[in-house]
Amino acid sequence: MHGRRGLSFYLLAFFFALFVLFLYGPTITIAILSFQGPQGGLTFPMNGVSTHWFGELFKQQAVGDIWGSFRRSFALGLMVMVTTVVVSVMGGLAFRKHFRGSGFVFYLVIGSLIVPSILISLGVGILFNQLDLDVHWSTSGFGSQLTWTLPFGLLIMFAVFNRFDSAYEEAARDLGASPWQTIRHVVLPIIGPSLIGVALFGFTLSYDEFARTLLTAGSYNTLPLEIFGMTTSVTTPVLFALGTFTTAFSFIVIGLFALLYWLSNKRRAIGKD
């Protein structure tokens, strides 16, 4: 297997390149088309190059409440992110206790992953309706999104704790550390970089969530709901400009998390020397 690269390598590499093109091609296409000239349409050819459609985004009345929905999605993403990190770490630590009934909790987590989103949307909608509560993005929307982000957070924590060497904890305990001190000064620093991964899942999955937020966001739209509303009414490249804008935002967020992860790993590597 480690000899000269055979024909199969080049065929597979070509297949992989095609797949990456398939994955990113459409996104790159709309990124280009969002710079259409003012007279341009939804497809090629380009009718000049301009930032006209990005300008349209900033005119509030033109295409709905984009900035309001962006602010809400951003705030909701942060709320979901923090909650996902805290609850996943606690849950991950809990599972290490091998407590009785952990099987039930485990299946609850897996169930959360496989229940179709529309059931969460419908169920939470009905529940709030029956309890005479108003659905709002920060309450019902927040909870519904957690049913999607928490399983991912916990799966990451499972993977992290599977590789965790409990000798560190035993050493801390032998040196007289209390359980809380052990977690605070030994466990958390070791799992720290993985928490950045959990946070990334929490924020981005919330920021882009649609199906679970549909019936649970109430009268104030999140950004994906706003965008979906636009698809039926807007037929100009302003749609692409918005798409490019939020995708660029997602890439920036992913890049920031990657940078944080890299920095925290590097710091740890230096600390080890």
Partner 1 sequence: MSSTTVKSSSAKPSSAKPSSAKNTLVGWLMASPLVLILGCFLLLPIIAIVAVSFWASTEYSYFPAFIFENYEFLLTSPVTLSVYIKTFMFTGITWFLCLVIGFTVAYFLAFHVRTLPMQIGLFLLCTVPFWTSNIIRMISWIPFLGRNGIANNALQDMGLIDEPLEWLLFSDFAVILAFVHLFTLFMIVPIFNSMMRLDRSLIEAAVDAGASSRQVLTNVIIPLTKPGIMIGSIFVVTLVMGDFITVRFMSGGQSASVGRVISNEIALLQYPAASASAVVLLLTVLIMIGIMLRFVDIRKEL
Binder to partner 1 among 54, 106, 168, 220 (CB under 8 A)? 106
Cβ partners under 8 Å of residue 52, min gap 6 = 36, 37, 38
Give the total of residues touching partner 1 (CB under 8 A): 95
Cβ partners under 8 Å of residue 25, min gap 6 = none
State yes or no: cis peptide before 45, omega within 30 of 0. Answer: yes
Going by C-alpha positions, the residue among 19, 57, 53, 20 that lies closest to residue 39 is 53
Q: Which of residues 212-231 bind partner 1 (CB under 8 A)?
A: 214-215, 224, 227-228, 231
Binder to partner 1 among 7, 98, 132, 272 (CB under 8 A)? 98
Q: Which of residues 147-176 bind partner 1 (CB under 8 A)?
A: 147, 150, 154-155, 158-159, 161-162
Helix or strand run (H / E) with residue 255 = helix 238-272
User: Interacting stretch for partner 1, rule CB under 8 A, among 48-56, 80-88, 188-196, 261-269?
Assistant: 80-88
- DSSP secondary structure letters along 191-239: HHHHHHHHHHHHHHHHHH--TTTTTTSTTS--HHHHHHHHHHH--STHH
Q: Which of residues 236-255 bind partner 1 (CB under 8 A)?
A: 239-240, 243, 246-247, 250-251, 253-254
Q: Which of residues 119-148 bind partner 1 (CB under 8 A)?
A: 119-127, 130, 143-144, 146-147
**By CB under 8 A, residue 180 contacts partner 1:** no
Cβ partners under 8 Å of residue 65, min gap 6 = 221, 226
User: Interacting stretch for partner 1, rule CB under 8 A, among 48-56, 60-68, 207-215, 261-269?
Assistant: 207-215
Binder to partner 1 among 7, 39, 114, 273 (CB under 8 A)? 114
**By CB under 8 A, residue 262 contacts partner 1:** no
**By CB under 8 A, residue 269 contacts partner 1:** no
Shortest distance (Å) from residue 109 CB to partner 1: 7
Backbone CA torsion sign across 47, 51, 54, 59: negative
**By CB under 8 A, residue 260 contacts partner 1:** no
Q: Is 176 left (phi over 0), alpha (psi -120 to 50) or beta?
A: left
